[in-house]
Chains A and B, each alone.
Chain A
Amino acid sequence: DTEVTQTPKHLVMGMTNKKSLKCEQHMGHRAMYWYKQKAKKPPELMFVYSYEKLSINESVPSRFSPECPNSSLLNLHLHALQPEDSALYLCASSQVGTGSYYGYTFGSGTRLTVV
């Protein structure tokens, strides 16, 4: 299995809703990532998990709450979002290490619209 699976593919939520994005991989990768991508912009790193521990938080607002319950699963819990949080949310995974090549595998993303 060489895929990263993200669900749902599309999500529309109100500003008072609570929702979660899910990301799953079975490649044995021990690093997982959340990226946010606005239209016509590059992906921006939000969070990095390494060996199921949060290692990087790029000053993301607390209304985004990541969770890594096990080595295959990564969640992003959403609460009290703003319309400007509407974006494509991409999950990725990779091996951990300092070798010459550790490729990233991306999921197909969740298109989030906050109304």
Chain B
Amino acid sequence: AQKITQTQPGMFVQEKEAVTLDCTYDTSDPSYGLFWYKQPSSGEMIFLIYQGSYDQQNATEGRYSLNFQKARKSANLVISASQLGDSAMYFCAMREINNAGNMLTFGGGTRLMVKP
């Protein structure tokens, strides 16, 4: 069984500064995918960034980058130049593929609060 751990229940960051949200995972599957989602208070899950287990380079999407350290089983999200609109819950998730289909399992989440 896989497991996703986010050790920071809540974080503050000053507007325009960078922030790192931690995520560690545990799986015995050689092929897996790691996702980060943002969930504002409205409830929708917004996809931010993806990293495949075989990807050689760290993923980047605009202000978001993923610091993927495979040997340490960590996939930290880095948000550069924080904006007030970045205040939300952030979830790390891992996709497992088995004969039954795809399964996406989430970590406990980190609530990010951006201060003006």
Contact = CB atoms under 8 A, between A and B. Distances in A.
Interface of A: 31, 33, 37, 40-45, 48, 50, 55-56, 88, 90, 92, 94, 96, 98, 100-109, 111
Chain B interface mostly helix, strand, loop or mixed?
Answer: strand
B44 A100 contact: no
Interface string B5-25: 000000000000000000000
Contacts of A103: 35, 47, 50
B107 to A, nearest CB: 6
Contacts of B109: 40-42
B100 A55 contact: yes
Given A100-B52, A101-B52, A108-B43, 4 more contacts: A31-B102, A42-B107, A100-B33, A103-B35
B63 to A, nearest CB: 19
A108 B43 CA distance: 6
B35 to A, nearest CB: 7
A107 B44 contact: yes
Most chain A CB inside 10 Å of its own CB: which residue of B103, B107, B108, B109: B103
Given A98-B97, A101-B33, A101-B50, A48 B103 contact: yes
Contact of B44 (A41, A45, A108): A108
29 contacts: A31-B101, A31-B102, A37-B43, A41-B108, A41-B109, A42-B106, A42-B109, A43-B45, A48-B103, A55-B100, A55-B101, A56-B103, A88-B43, A90-B45, A98-B31, A100-B33, A100-B54, A100-B55, A102-B95, A102-B102, A103-B35, A103-B50, A104-B35, A104-B95, A106-B44, A106-B45, A107-B44, A108-B42, A108-B44
